[in-house]
Structure 1
Amino acid sequence: MSSENHANAVHSNESCAGWPRMLARAREVIRREAKALESVADRLDEQICKLADHILLTPGFVVVSGVGKSALVGEKISATLASTGTRSISLDPLDALHGSLGRVSSGDVFLALSNSGETDELRQIVRALKEQPVLIALITGRADSSLAQAAHNVLDIGPLQEVCALGLAPTTTTTAMMALGDALALIIQERRGFTRRDFARFHPGGSLGRNLVRVRDLMRPVETIPVVRPGTALAQVLVIICRATDCSGVAVVLDNNEKIIGLIDSETIAVDAGGAQHFNWEARVDPYILPPPDRIYDDATVSDAIQIFGRNSGAVLSVEDTSNRFIGLLSRRDLDEQRNALRT
């Protein structure tokens, strides 16, 4: 073994020897933070309910702001609020002090994050906002701080000890602030009656969107689709298709029980008829009916539709409700547009 390989092996052995202590410390960090969250939950009072009610009643934004690690936590809280139905933005305090405070308007809620409750930039902002009809809320570890005294609503996480060995790096306190922000966002979401469908509108991208967006959200309802009956004159069918807003030259053939018999494709008619000069204007639609497309239920997901289209080359799927009634068409083109949106 070369001297370099020997040195690496010795270093690796020494490193592995220290792993049990590192693992024990990692577990201790998580357990101490979990214990701290229990104390925050016990300390929580009606202030969070009052703040939630005010946010539900106001037409404005929740403007979240903090400095340093609190700023990063604030961005996450703001994002969670926005994704669960509450209009929210995050605001950098330094930018706010140099013009961006204009983003805060009458009726907004200014939510400040400061463990000490003495962050100078936030104190300056609060002094300026006192001149406006803005509710000032604070997440802090000191309910007797100057920011707490100036705020209308205080969410107190209490005097938590950082789990950092030096007691300096924001760890326990930022975890507590983030958990409190989650609690606020979710009680508002539930009181608002925010549904899975609402959630899908705000999360159209990636696997989350594919699992939440339903076929009924993408399909073309039967009321917007050209529909004909067996025995209809071919010329009349072509007129109906041409007058349709957008069904890609396809009409649906239904029987008297509103069951789908098949499709009529204007391009197929044109080819089979041999062009306009040979077109039989007295012909009926029946010989030109194509087999019905594969079906899919309206509560199926985008992922389900992708799988079905992957198994066939058809341009559309027949959409049915739970009573097996035909209620619309899902086109491959509409699905592709949705898939492109999911990738962005």
Structure 2
Amino acid sequence: MTETQHQRLYQLGQEVIRLEAEAVARLARRIDANFARACQLMLRCEGRVVVTGMGKSGHICGKIAATLASTGTPAFFVHSGEASHGDLGMITPRDVVLALSNSGETDELVFIIPLIKRLGVPLIAMTGRPDSTLARQATVHIDVSVAQEACPLGLAPTASTTAALAMGDALAVALLEARGFTREDFARSHPAGSLGRRLLLKIDDIMHTGDAIPRVPETATLDQALLEMTAKKLGMTAVVDGDGRVQGIFTDGDLRRLFERGDCDIHTTPIREVMTRGCATAPPGMLAAEAVKLMEDRKINALLVVDDDNRLVGALNMHDLLRAGVF
């Protein structure tokens, strides 16, 4: 491929981005009373928002439905072609229909308009032609027309589908804000995602418990503490009294500082003389994200989990949080 051909490809790519960016920018002027009415219809909906379309618009419908559903507005996609072959039964009188068609004359959509109206279901139309059949028959029409497609042939839906997608996002975000939808709500609908892990995972789910907790009695010597740390591989050990209450912690960092001093005998030094007292602890049920902040604020790599009576019930370190994807 010649340099001239390369340059032409660059120009075509830049032109497509420019045209689609302009198409989206023009949508800002279309956020009007009809947009607000569409939002109100969906906010008052007691069922679900049924998003329907054909072809490339159908693909955009699927994404809009998914975005609505994940941001607090129950929604699903129905293929317009399948609607007249049984799938219309998915629509109930409690729903709202959001129909997409750039021309507003898509046969499969126009065919089911009377059936939607018979159900008494509000119909929100998103088209590129305000004078089209779909636009005229809709309860509310949102104009997503574009000056031209980015396709040089003016045939393939490009700028028009981008505009429709952006308007769908605008609806979803406006509804999200109106519903008071929070980050925690989002996490609950995305429990497998990184945000869900950060916001919903608790330290109980990842902490070491039972015999896996490194612990020594306060009567132990330093060498006994080092053996426990080596065995449990958390880079620290808790120091507890006879009732299992935490008295302190001894960490790899404490050991390095002792070696730098060079003035202790590991076989005879009582652990209570070299442990860190008043160490950071966390209660069961703390969110893992809160544990991360606590450890970062205290500049520590390990955390002991204690009950209301300061008895040791668990332990974790930064590696546990990293493995759980809490960052």
Shorter-chain TM band? 0.5 to 0.7
**Distance change (3 Å), C-alpha of 1:302 and 1:65:** farther
**Distance change (3 Å), C-alpha of 1:128 and 1:330:** farther
What amino acid does structure 1 have at the position aligned with 2:289?
Answer: T
> In the TM superposition, what is the alpha-carbon distance from 1:21 to its structure 2 partner?
2.3
Q: Deviations over 1:236-267 (max 9, x none)?
A: xxxxxxxxxxx9779xxxxxxxxxxx9xxxxx
Query: Does 1:114 pair with 2:101?
Result: yes
What amino acid does structure 1 have at the position aligned with 2:7?
Answer: P
Q: 2:202 aligns with which of 209, 218, 226?
A: 218
Q: Deviations over 1:39-92 (max 9, x none)?
A: 222133211111111211221100001100001000000011011000000001
Alignment partners' CA distance in 1, 2:44 and 2:313: 40
- Residue equivalent to 2:134: 147
Q: 1:317 aligns with which of 305, 310, 314?
A: 305
Q: 1:190 aligns with which of 177, 180, 193?
A: 177
- Whether contact under 8 Å (1:218, 1:330) holds in the other structure is no
Equivalence map 1:185-334=2 (5 Å): 185-210=172-197, 212-214=198-200, 218=202, 286-289=241-244, 291=246, 295=281, 298=286, 300-301=288-289, 304=292, 317-318=305-306
Q: Deviations over 1:21-42 (max 9, x none)?
A: 2112211211111111122221
Structure 1, gaps ≥5 residues long: 1-13, 221-246, 251-261, 263-284
> In the TM superposition, what is the alpha-carbon distance from 1:213 to its structure 2 partner?
1.2
Alignment partners' CA distance in 2, 1:190 and 1:123: 32
Alignment partners' CA distance in 1, 2:123 and 2:17: 32
What amino acid does structure 1 have at the position aligned with 2:281?
Answer: R
> In the TM superposition, what is the alpha-carbon distance from 1:20 to its structure 2 partner?
2.3
What amino acid does structure 1 have at the position aligned with 2:244?
Answer: I
**Distance change (3 Å), C-alpha of 1:302 and 1:72:** farther
What amino acid does structure 2 have at the position aligned with 1:213?
Answer: L
**Distance change (3 Å), C-alpha of 1:331 and 1:121:** farther
**Distance change (3 Å), C-alpha of 1:329 and 1:25:** farther
> In the TM superposition, what is the alpha-carbon distance from 1:341 to its structure 2 partner?
11
Q: 1:58 aligns with which of 25, 45, 55?
A: 45
Deviation >6 Å, runs of 4+: 247-250, 328-332, 339-342
Query: Does 1:130 pair with 2:114?
Result: no
**Distance change (3 Å), C-alpha of 1:340 and 1:95:** farther
Q: SS in structure 2 opposite 1:289? A: coil
- Whether contact under 8 Å (1:138, 1:148) holds in the other structure is yes
> In the TM superposition, what is the alpha-carbon distance from 1:128 to its structure 2 partner?
1.0
Q: SS in structure 1 opposite 2:52? A: strand
**Distance change (3 Å), C-alpha of 1:104 and 1:165:** same
Q: SS in structure 1 opposite 2:50? A: strand
- Whether contact under 8 Å (1:213, 1:302) holds in the other structure is no
**Distance change (3 Å), C-alpha of 1:303 and 1:288:** closer
| Residue correspondences, number | 257
What amino acid does structure 2 have at the position aligned with 1:35?
Answer: E
Alignment partners' CA distance in 1, 2:44 and 2:153: 43
Query: Does 1:176 pair with 2:175?
Result: no
**Distance change (3 Å), C-alpha of 1:109 and 1:18:** same
Q: State, as a whole percentage, how many aligned pairs show the same letter.
A: 40
Alignment partners' CA distance in 2, 1:16 and 1:319: 70
> In the TM superposition, what is the alpha-carbon distance from 1:330 to its structure 2 partner?
7.3
**Distance change (3 Å), C-alpha of 1:319 and 1:148:** farther
With normalisation by structure 2, the TM-score equals 0.67
> In the TM superposition, what is the alpha-carbon distance from 1:205 to its structure 2 partner?
1.7
What amino acid does structure 2 have at the position aligned with 1:287?
Answer: G
What amino acid does structure 1 have at the position aligned with 2:202?
Answer: L
> In the TM superposition, what is the alpha-carbon distance from 1:303 to its structure 2 partner?
9.2
Structure 2, gaps ≥5 residues long: 212-217, 219-239, 250-279
Q: 2:69 aligns with which of 59, 79, 82?
A: 82
- Whether contact under 8 Å (1:319, 1:330) holds in the other structure is no
> In the TM superposition, what is the alpha-carbon distance from 1:317 to its structure 2 partner?
3.3
